[in-house]
Structure formats: C-alpha cells, structure tokens
C-alpha cells in the first residue's frame, strides 16, 4: 500500500509540475500576453505602434531579412512560452512598417 501512495504522490507532483509550466510559469504568462497582443497588430502599422503594443521582442534578426513585399527588413520574434512549437514573427520593412504577422 505504501508503494501505491508513493506512486500516487509522484504522479501528482509531475502533473502539478506540468500544469505550472504550462499556465503559471512567467514565460508562459508572457507567452499568453504576447499572443493576445499580437491580435492587435496589423499590416501597415508603424514600428513604434507595434512596439507599444507588443513590448520588447525576445529576438531581432537584422541581417537584411527578406520580406514578402520588400527587399530587406527586420524580423521581430516574440516567444509563446513552454511547449510552443514556434513563436510570433513580425516582419517590419525598411520603412518601419509591419509587413506580416506570422503566428503558428
């Protein structure tokens, strides 16, 4: 009986650990906010407006990132948190206008 109780306690700890990482860990909370904020970003929006809504990006790729409509630009990456396959990519062209919002 004591082995069963120990196994049950271990399973509960693992379950609560996973739930914590998915919903309550700071990176998951930030990821949820990033996802919600990204819904307010639209094509043609200025870089300043986008940054006011989204905040500081987790990564910026500056290396003449090829965009859909422009020769070069920057990609702003926002993380979605624990177990997310990918984050939110916002492509901004050289005129500092949003060209695409990619969230998968």
Task: Per residue of the chain (104 residues), give pLDDT as tens.
Answer: 688 888 998 999 999 888 877 777 776 678 888 888 999 999 999 999 999 999 999 888 876 555 454 456 889 999 887 666 788 999 998 899 999 888 76
For the beta carbon of residue 74, count every other beta carbon within 10 angstroms.
Answer: 19
- The pLDDT value recorded for residue 16 is 87
For the beta carbon of residue 84, count every other beta carbon within 10 angstroms.
Answer: 16
Q: What residue segments make up the domains of the chain, in order of their start?
A: 2-103
- The pLDDT value recorded for residue 35 is 87
Element (H, E) at 8: helix 2-19
Query: Which architecture does CATH list for 2-103?
Result: 2-Layer Sandwich (3.30)
- The pLDDT value recorded for residue 82 is 67
102: which 2 tokens? Answer: 């990619």
């Amino acid at each position: 009986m004591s082995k069963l109780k120990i196994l049950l306690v271990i399973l509960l700890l693992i379950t609560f650990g996973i739930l914590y990482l998915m919903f309550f860990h700071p990176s998951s909370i930030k990821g949820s906010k990033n996802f919600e904020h990204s819904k307010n970003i639209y094509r043609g929006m200025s870089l300043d407006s986008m940054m006011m809504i989204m905040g500081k990006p987790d990564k910026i790729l500056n290396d003449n990132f090829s965009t859909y409509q422009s020769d070069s630009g920057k990609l702003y990456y926002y993380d979605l948190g624990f177990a997310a396959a990918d984050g939110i990519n916002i492509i901004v062209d050289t005129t500092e206008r949003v060209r695409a919002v990619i969230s998968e």
